[in-house]
Structure 1
Amino acid sequence: MSSLPRPKRSYAAYSSALLGLLSLFGVLCFHFPELLTSREFRAVYSETFARNLLLVGLVAAFLLGTLAILRGRNRRIALIGVGSATLAVLVGGTNVQFDSIGKTSYSLGLDWFVISLFFSALVFVPMERFLGKRDISPLRPGWRTDLAYFFMSHVLVQFILILVTASTSTIAGLAMFPSLKAAIQSLPVWGQFLIAVFVADLAQALLHRAYHNIPWLWRFHAVHHSSREMDWLAGSRIHFVEIVMTRSAVLLPLLILGFSASAVNAYVVLVGLQAVLAHANLGIRFGPLEYLLVLPRYHHWHHARQKEYIDVNYAIHLPLVDMLMGTFKLPRKQEEWPQEYGVMKLETVPRGIMEQHLMPFRRKKDYDDYVA
């Protein structure tokens, strides 16, 4: 007796749930801006922009949720969206008022999570739907785990910055290169930015290679490589310890060499954009540009579950870095893509964000519930 096919998921219902919850988070940010919003990120957007974005999210959550309920598709999920949006309105909606935002010794980046997730999904979900190399759903297996990683890395952004700053500032202060600093600082911002990209990419590629070749470091990095599907959200799956180590290794040479704040900030923007793009499920043919910039096909081969690609393509921005390191490898035919992604031994990485964070500290080598 054959089993009945699973009903298709309603994108309207899941979109409603996402927008409803994000709207509720947004209202909470208006109520508790000192505790829930990042001071650095608040400087990027205006209050008017935030209120208008909240209004769009609320309206869309109600409309999409109602549509899914009327069609009888994933009603429980749709009710989460409509219910969250309703609660957001009841606790103030777009009318929450506040005076000045006070200073606190720490805060969460909930605003960074809400805005980043909203626009990333808005851009990449349609792009992957129509330009994707592989026909995979945004709700593919493991998406909840990757969304949890996305939430963690964005909400805890200020704590990550504190740890990174603490781990690099003292060392940077001890290592002084006045003449080199002066030469770099004499360059225009765009020149500093280009050099910063190369220096940071070289530092990160060297550490990246160490992740793959030093067993105790690999246990942290294996979490990132455990994704069985590659899309815009998969790049978020990074162990918290790896985030701190990698950002410290990248920030240290930039601090030592005295790059301007504008150049460093521009680099940080590039990191955010390219990290999402490199993992995205996009089958676009970029031609010779693939040899100048790290694009999806290039980085996908780094994630390939094939022995001949275990020790290649470590660069995050520039393939030139891999060429200099002798780790560049890319099939000439642009239609050649990996057939499978993930760690070579799937049973060594468990499912779920909590189990994966504990995994590097355990002696256990194999798991029954693993990323298969």
Structure 2
Amino acid sequence: MQPHAEHSFIAYASAMLGLLSLLAVLCFHFPELLTSREFRAVYSEQFARRLLLVGMVAAFVLGTLAVMRGRSRRVALLGVGSATLAVLLGGTNVRFDAIGQTPWSLGMDWFVLSLFFSALVFVPLERYLGQRRMSPLRPGWRTDLAYFFVGHVLVQFILILVTAWTSTIAGLAAFPALKDAIQALPVWAQFLLAVFVADLAQATLHRTYHNTPWLWRFHAVHHSSRAMDWLAGSRMHLVEIVLTRSFVLLPLLVLGFSQPAVNAYVILVGLQAVLAHANLGLRFGWLEYVLVLPRYHHWHHARHPDYLDANYAIHLPLVDMLMGTFRLPKDGSWPEEYGVMKLETVPRGILHQHLMPFRRRKHYDEYED
């Protein structure tokens, strides 16, 4: 990483922390509308306030340091200004009464905490253990961050859409004997079985995306990223998010897996989806044939004709072995290039990419190259 890129990153880190602090303060002011009831149960109010304080202080310190070094001053001032506004709006001293119930809410708290901790963990890891020497501010990061924002903030709406029809279909499909047999298993065994069943469903749908032209136009958005890191996995069309989560959740509901087993699987999905896309050059040896790890999934994203129909699993390479789509170079090599084969078929930017599947247009002048 060049010195100017590193200084720029300090400024952008300040801007991120300042803006996240401001969003966190807004969450304290409007908890019914901006925070999700399910996620509020995961963390405490005291924890959120302490984290907010850390974020504001770090935004001030990093922003001031970037300004003194003369790198990306406007970005650094955005961080300092956002943190200042967060303080003026009450900072950690905002008080609120009992949080009331609303028919819907945004997952702003989920976005703030997820982005903070994901960046805290993966930015240093990719800096020192990355397969490629690449700045976090690589080309296309703004688009992927926009996807990260939309996917997290709209989490409750996505959940409503997914559960609305999957629960209905699951209710119509009655297999009481099979459900009883699965629920008689210990939770850990249910979890392992759920991982296999869900990954088989996911991989089947995933392959269908690649081999059905009109579905590929939605999935091509995910493959359009020209760089692979922890943020790149967020680039998914909302239609694909709803379809994939529904298709994966449906067999788990139909077969009657217990809620603890399903919850454990949901946690695994979140962790492995980020890990599989991460820019981590570690060699895992035989474990690469047991679990889907970065090199395995990176080859699925390779801009290479030999890997257009390969590595659809997101958890278990065994699923690809059963489907006949397992591909992994034995020499430990990584892809040289990522992205769709025809770059001009996917436009640049989250708005144009969401409209793209519904347009007749096949080529665009503005695309990621």
TM-score of the aligned structures, taking structure 1 as reference length: 0.98
Shift of residue 10 of structure 1?
1.8
- 1:132 has 2:103 as partner: no
Structure 2: which amino acid aligns with 1:366? H
Aligned match of 1:154? 152
1:144-202 deviation per Cα after TM superposition (whole angstroms, max 9, x unaligned): 00000000000000000000011211110000111110011011111111111000000
Structure 2: which amino acid aligns with 1:38? S
Q: Which runs of 4 or more aligned residues in structure 1 lie more than 4 Å from their structure 2 counterparts after TM superposition?
A: none
Distance 1:7 1:125, change over 3 A: closer
Aligned match of 2:365? 368
Q: Unaligned stretches of 5+ in structure 2? A: none
Equivalent residue runs for 1:255-294 within 5 Å: 255-294=253-292
Aligned match of 2:220? 222
For 2:87 and 2:165, the matched residues in 1 are separated by 42
Aligned match of 1:312? 310
Distance 1:50 1:6, change over 3 A: closer
Percent identity, aligned pairs only? 80
- 1:114 has 2:125 as partner: no
1:36-84 deviation per Cα after TM superposition (whole angstroms, max 9, x unaligned): 0011111110111100110100000000001111111111000000000
For 2:58 and 2:274, the matched residues in 1 are separated by 25
For 1:331 and 1:6, the matched residues in 2 are separated by 35
- 1:347 has 2:344 as partner: yes
Shift of residue 251 of structure 1?
0.6
Shift of residue 7 of structure 1?
4.8
- 1:90 has 2:88 as partner: yes
For 2:328 and 2:181, the matched residues in 1 are separated by 36
SS for the counterpart of 1:10 is: helix
Structure 1: which amino acid aligns with 2:216? W
Aligned pair partner of 1:165 in 148, 163, 166: 163
For 1:192 and 1:269, the matched residues in 2 are separated by 15
Aligned match of 1:44? 42
SS for the counterpart of 2:12 is: helix
Aligned pair partner of 1:234 in 232, 235, 259: 232
For 1:347 and 1:7, the matched residues in 2 are separated by 31
SS for the counterpart of 2:151 is: helix
Mean alpha-carbon deviation: is it higher for 305-314 or for 6-15? Answer: 6-15
Q: Unaligned stretches of 5+ in structure 1? A: none
Structure 1: which amino acid aligns with 2:246? S
TM-score of the aligned structures, taking structure 2 as reference length: 0.98
For 2:165 and 2:206, the matched residues in 1 are separated by 18
For 2:291 and 2:318, the matched residues in 1 are separated by 8
Shift of residue 296 of structure 1?
0.1
For 2:186 and 2:22, the matched residues in 1 are separated by 43
For 1:259 and 1:102, the matched residues in 2 are separated by 32
Name the count of aligned residue pairs.
Answer: 367
For 1:316 and 1:70, the matched residues in 2 are separated by 45
Aligned pair partner of 2:20 in 17, 22, 39: 22
For 2:297 and 2:80, the matched residues in 1 are separated by 38
Structure 1: which amino acid aligns with 2:17? L
